[in-house]
Amino acid sequence: MAPLPPKKTVKHDFSPFIIAYDDGTIDRLVGTTVVPPSPSDPITGVASKDVVIDSSSGVWVRLYLPKLSDSDEPKLPLVVYYHGGAFVAESAASPTCHNHLTSLSSAARALIVSVNYRLAPEHPVPAAYHDSLAALKWVASHVEGSGPDEWLNLRADFDRVHVAGDSAGGNIAHYMGLRVRTEVGLRVRGLALVHPSFWGSEAIGREGERPEVKHMVEKLWEISSPDLAVDDPLLNPFGVGAPGLRGLRCERVLVCVAEMCWFRDRDLLYYEGLKKSGWEGTVEVFETKGEGHNFHLFEPQKEKAKALLMRLVEFFNAR
């Protein structure tokens, strides 16, 4: 009889996200279910497909193209989207992400590029940011209509580019907004940050009322980025050494917050800070009362979720 494998000891329990063991292995508790792309969604008619953009890292994107009619313009708004999951969970193929972006593509009549960046702890932060920037550069390679993907060559309006994301993806979207003009050469019209994950060591607002949430957020950051402190500029846009918000290279920003979300106070601080930063664009906030973090992904049938979706549609289609 073969000997039994040694029993693993739990090193960190980050339920409901992941459990980390002393041998370096992990169990993901959420975000492992995936759905395939579809040539035509049965409800909306949106087509989706997966494209590997970097064979060495395995980074890929899922593209969404709405079912076109005679009333559609030949060129569509382009949205580059980053999913959430605390940098350790979920993917561009997660049902919640896929269903949300299918609905968004249909309602906004937009071409969407959803980025599947590598996850921590196997690939510690800042790997997710590197992958996200690489995806933007891949998108930018289509500006002249001669890139590797025909959907982008033929249908993307590069005068109407937006960068968006939820939770950790909203955090990533913010930093892409700081780097996109100088490092990518892509003109971005707007950023849409949905419940973005920003944090800091000193509690603000209602954060002190929920010590268990503070512990969870900070431990998740520790396992996703063991070499970076909680006040690192990647997590705290007001931390020491953080690039000034006035450096955002876009014209408009929409910050979506939820009343019961644990990031609400940080997100409102970001909104107020951007207004006072000297940045010359327009920033708006959209708050959903009585709802928690990323509620719209888990209960898209709610009227409040539909209202959030339509606010994004309005933002992406503004002239």
Active-site option among 48, 94, 132, 167: 167
Strand order in the sheet with 26-28: 10-14, 18-21, 26-28
β-pairing, 76-82 vs 156-166, is parallel
What does DSSP assign to residue 7? P
Residues 6+ apart with CB under 8 A from 110: 64, 66, 76, 77, 78, 79, 104, 316, 317
Report yes or no: 232 and 98 within 8 Å, Cβ to Cβ.
Answer: no
Backbone angles phi, psi at 136, to 5 degrees: -65, -40
The residues facing 115 across adjacent strands are 61, 82
Where are any strands of DSSP class E within 9-54? Answer: 10-14, 18-21, 26-28, 47-54
Residue given tokens 């979207």 in the structure block: 173
- Is 48 noted as a catalytic residue in this protein? no
DSSP one-letter string for 253-301: EEEEEETT-TTHHHHHHHHHHHHHTT--SEEEEEEETT--TTHHHH-TT
- Element at 158 (helix H, strand E): strand 156-166
Q: Cite the active site residues.
A: 167
